[in-house]
Each structure stands twice: as structure tokens, then as C-alpha cells.
Amino acid sequence: MPETRTHPIHVRPAVLADEAALGELDRATWSTLHAVTPRPQPPYNPFFDERHRPEDFLVAEAGEDGGESRPAGYLRLVPPTPLACNTHVRQIQGLAVADRARGRGVARTLLRAAFEAARGDGANRMTLRVLGHNAPARALYESEGFVVEGVLPGEFFLHGRYVDDVMMGRSLAP
Ligand SMILES: CC(C)(COP(=O)(O)OP(=O)(O)OC[C@H]1O[C@@H](n2cnc3c(N)ncnc32)[C@H](O)[C@@H]1OP(=O)(O)O)[C@@H](O)C(=O)NCCC(=O)NCCS
């Protein structure tokens, strides 16, 4: 099992009881590097809803120095469409790691757990979209076998700049 400097990283499916912790993590990590929606303002939308069900999420826990284990990151993995002809594909539609846990392999562990879960569901391909200026995420995805499959130039206007929407994908074949 991959480890933080001193603590193991454990990945599990999300449960409804993660609502508060994941909502907080999501708000705390908001940035124009990856978000295309405005900074969340109170009253906050629920983290889980009909389209964002706990079973769509993997949660990574990394033990803390006090011995406590709490969500350090999450990944949302869903079929890109409800179409029968598209069921062999899974798409990452959300990945975030808490600032305090970055740089220790949490995202890589989540990604590898997602590959395993998708293969277990019979999928043979994984896709995602990442903003062109999100260098950390692009380096992560490339190091895990994703390649750029398409670019929508200047698709988003964020913080006074046009930003590309980059499509990436990889096979899940062994
Ligand atoms: C991108 C993100 C998920 C990485 O999480 P993380 O747990 O710190 O990443 P890991 O420790 O697993 O790093 C794995 C690899 O990612 C790349 N990476 C991670 N952070 C990086 C950084 N700041 N700069 C460059 N590359 C980086 C590296 O290739 C790294 O491998 P290495 O440690 O061998 O160099 C995290 O920075 C984050 O939550 N960012 C905001 C949300 C976001 O951008 N999500 C992606 C949306 S598409």
C-alpha cells in the first residue's frame, strides 16, 4: 500500500456521512486552476445530490499525526453518458486533495484505485477533462498513462484569461 511520509493511504468508497468533510475539502481547495464554477458562497449546496451520489466517489484517508484518519482527497468516477454504447468508458469528473496532504501520492493512489474499480465494472477506457493551465494535474495524469486526445482552445474565460479545455484518455487494458 502506498504510504505518506509516516502514514498509510487508504482508499474506500464514499458514504453519506462524508458529506460535511468532503464539502469542506471541496470548498477549501477551490481555485481557478481547476474550477470552472464560481467560488462557493454560503448557503453552500450539498456535496452529495442526485447527480453526485456517494457511490460515485472514492475517498482517500491518510492518518494524521494525532492518530485521526479523515478524508485527504476524493475522486468522482462516472459513466460519461447513460448510453448503452458508452458503458465501457468511465470518466473522472472530480479530483481534489487537501492542501495538507498534497505531494504524498494521495492523488496517484486515488487514480490507481479508480483504474481498478473501473476494470472491475468491465470498463476498458477512462477519460477526463483538465484545464490547460493546471500543470500539477496534467503532470499527474500524464504520469499515469493519460494522453491528450483533444483540445477546445480558449473554452473558458477564467480570472481574466481564456483557458483551454483539454481532453485526456487512456486504455484500461492490462
Ligand atoms: C492535482 C492534485 C490532485 C495532485 O494531488 P497530490 O496528492 O498532491 O498528487 P500526488 O502526490 O499523488 O502526485 C502525483 C504526481 O502528480 C504530479 N504533481 C502533483 N503535484 C504537482 C505540482 N505541484 N507540480 C507539478 N506536478 C505535480 C507529479 O507528477 C507527481 O508525481 P511525483 O510526486 O513523482 O513528482 C492536487 O494538487 C489538487 O487537488 N489540485 C486541485 C484540484 C485539481 O486540480 N484537480 C484536478 C482537476 S482535473
pLDDT per residue as tens digits for the range 96-127: 999 999 999 999 999 999 999 999 999 999 99
CA distance 50 to 120: 24
Q: Is residue 1 part of a domain?
A: no
Q: What pTM does this model have?
A: 0.96
**If you write DSSP's letter for every residue of 18-33 in order, what string do you get?**
GHHHHHHHHHHT--TT
Percent of the chain with pLDDT over 90: 89
Q: Provide the β-strand partners of residue 58.
A: 13, 75
Q: Is residue 126 part of a domain?
A: yes
C-alpha of residue 135 to centroid of ligand 1, in Å: 8
Query: With bands split at pLDDT 50, 70 and 90, how would you rate the model's confidence at 4?
Result: very low
- In short, whether 29's Cβ falls inside 6 Å of ligand 1 is yes
Q: Is residue 146 part of a domain?
A: yes
- Expressed as residue numbers, the domain containing 35 is 9-171
Long-range contacts, 134-138 (Cβ 8 Å, 24+): 134/33, 134/34, 136/33, 137/33, 137/34, 137/95, 138/166, 138/168
Q: Is residue 144 part of a domain?
A: yes
Query: With bands split at pLDDT 50, 70 and 90, how would you rate the model's confidence at 67?
Result: low
| CATH number of 16's domain | 3.40.630.30
Residue 140 identity: L
User: Is 90 exceeded by the pLDDT of residue 64?
Assistant: no
- Residue 70 is predicted with a pLDDT of 87
Q: Is residue 4 part of a domain?
A: no
C-alpha of residue 84 to centroid of ligand 1, in Å: 33
- In short, whether 151's Cβ falls inside 6 Å of ligand 1 is no
Mean pLDDT value across residues 32-48: 96
Count the domains in the chain.
1
Q: Is residue 2 part of a domain?
A: no
Q: Is residue 3 part of a domain?
A: no
Q: Is residue 13 part of a domain?
A: yes
- Residue-wise pLDDT tens digits, 76-103: 999 999 999 999 999 999 999 999 999 9
Q: Provide the β-strand partners of residue 92.
A: 77, 128
